[in-house]
Amino acid sequence: MKRKTIPILALAIGLASSACTNMSPLFGGSTTAPAPSAPAQAAAPAPPPILPFDDAVLAAANDVFARASVPAGTERIALVVDPLVDGMAGEQTAATRAMGERIAELARSRYPHFEILPFDSASLRRAPWVLVGTFTPVSAEGRTEGSRAAYRICLALADLGSGRIVSKGLARSQLEGVDGTPLASFRDSPAWVRDPRVEAYIRTCQGTKAGDPIQPAYLDGILTASLISQAVEAYNAGRYREALERYEAAEATPAGRQLRVLNGLYLANTRLGHAEAAGRAFGRLVDFGLEQQRLAMKFLFRPGSTGFVAERRLSGAYPMWLAEIARGAAAREACLEVAGHASRSGPEPLNERLSLLRAEAVRGLLVANDARLTTRTIAAGYGSREAMVGTGRGDASDAMDRRVEFRVVNCAPA
């Protein structure tokens, strides 16, 4: 990709690698070549077959449960399910919720030595086993780029008592018939940030093997995760006051400053009509994203246009969003690349052109809020090259692919 320059920017964008890539040396596999006298390495095992969704869920679940070694003399093992997520964005979807429910049912019916408990603080005090899992669109080669051919299911059982992974389960599901629509709290969330806490959840499942330690950031934040889970459930059910209380309780914990909490505080306050509190929460969300060097916003545009959707319920908060982003960037004296993205539907040349035009339009609105950003921002269009979902459905299930990102880049004098 050709490097872009502006007078005061030296663009050296070092994007963090996704925690949801194919199982590779990034997660501990060796890249060292064998000595000449060593025997030839065995060929990599063939990927699991692509199954119908329900069959794939059962295959992965039976795999992880059957591989778990139950300590001798143990009658029942306490087990909680930390809600499964999309392996790229870390969102909970209709599909991941259905998977969690089906896995819990299977454990109750076929693996009676597990005692399924709610994911809450009382259960966690028993140091139970915890099930985590990811559901990731991948190519035929198992990569999270290019044309997607299947969903990869990764499940892991982790023992909170020992702090180690107990067993793993893997399967692949067909794309057809899978509802990847994010649940309400994730669908409504305005922003996405690469959050170390969510990354730790994903890495606890992906790139580990039985006996490995649980990711420390996940283990340290699991109590907060249980509060977030309750808040998400309350928001999805329309119990916004309860959701706000749970999000506030989560924020008060040592691991509380994270994406899901900040999004949740903004959403719950907005639903309750607490405009000032919602604005403050959004400001903290912006600051968090800029600290992470990469803040993605889910602006909704009119089809084929650079204009936002006209429905005030959907776009009415956009001026406040842009004002807060401009404030945060100017306060930090940050330089930003405003990066437009598109889903994999439609011709790629058109996607690239439209994503650039939208990025330029958003940059213009940002500069209108603070003229100091005129020489500190550039626009770039990436089309669908960095699609996170990549299914090309063009609906709510791949809304993340149509994001606009604000990437903090290095500044340099002209």
pLDDT surpassing 50 at residue 78 = yes
> What local confidence, expressed as pLDDT, does residue 211 receive?
96
> What local confidence, expressed as pLDDT, does residue 24 receive?
32
CA 143, CA 172: separation in Å to the nearest integer? 13
pLDDT surpassing 50 at residue 110 = yes
> What local confidence, expressed as pLDDT, does residue 413 receive?
57
Give me the torsion for CA of 362, 363, 368, 374, rounded to 10°: 180
Mean of pLDDT values over 132-147 = 93
pLDDT (tens digit per residue) in 263-318: 999 999 999 999 999 999 999 999 999 999 999 999 999 988 999 999 999 999 99
Mean of pLDDT values over 367-377 = 96
pLDDT surpassing 90 at residue 46 = no
Mean of pLDDT values over 101-121 = 96
Mean of pLDDT values over 75-80 = 93
pLDDT surpassing 50 at residue 113 = yes
pLDDT-derived band at 79, boundaries 50, 70, 90: very high
pLDDT-derived band at 72, boundaries 50, 70, 90: confident
List for the chain the helix, strand, coil content (%; round to 5). Answer: 40, 20, 40
Beta bridge partners of residue 80, listed in sequence order: 130
> What local confidence, expressed as pLDDT, does residue 123 receive?
97
pLDDT-derived band at 47, boundaries 50, 70, 90: confident
pLDDT surpassing 70 at residue 18 = no
Tokens of 8: 């005061």
pLDDT-derived band at 29, boundaries 50, 70, 90: very low
> What local confidence, expressed as pLDDT, does residue 40 receive?
52
Contact assessment for residue 382 and residue 277, using Cβ atoms and an 8 Å cutoff: no
Q: What percent of the chain has pLDDT over 90?
A: 80
Looking at domain 293-413, its CATH class is alpha beta
Looking at domain 50-182, its CATH class is alpha beta
Q: Which residue has the higher pLDDT, 11 or 378?
A: 378
Domain edges within the chain: 50-182, 293-413
pLDDT (tens digit per residue) in 206-216: 989 999 999 99
pLDDT (tens digit per residue) in 238-254: 999 999 999 999 999 99
Task: Give the list of residues 6+ apart from residue 199 with CB closer than 8 angstroms, or none.
Answer: 19, 90, 217
> What local confidence, expressed as pLDDT, does residue 10 receive?
32
For 24-70, where are the alpha helices, taking DSSP H only?
Answer: 53-66
> What local confidence, expressed as pLDDT, does residue 235 receive?
98
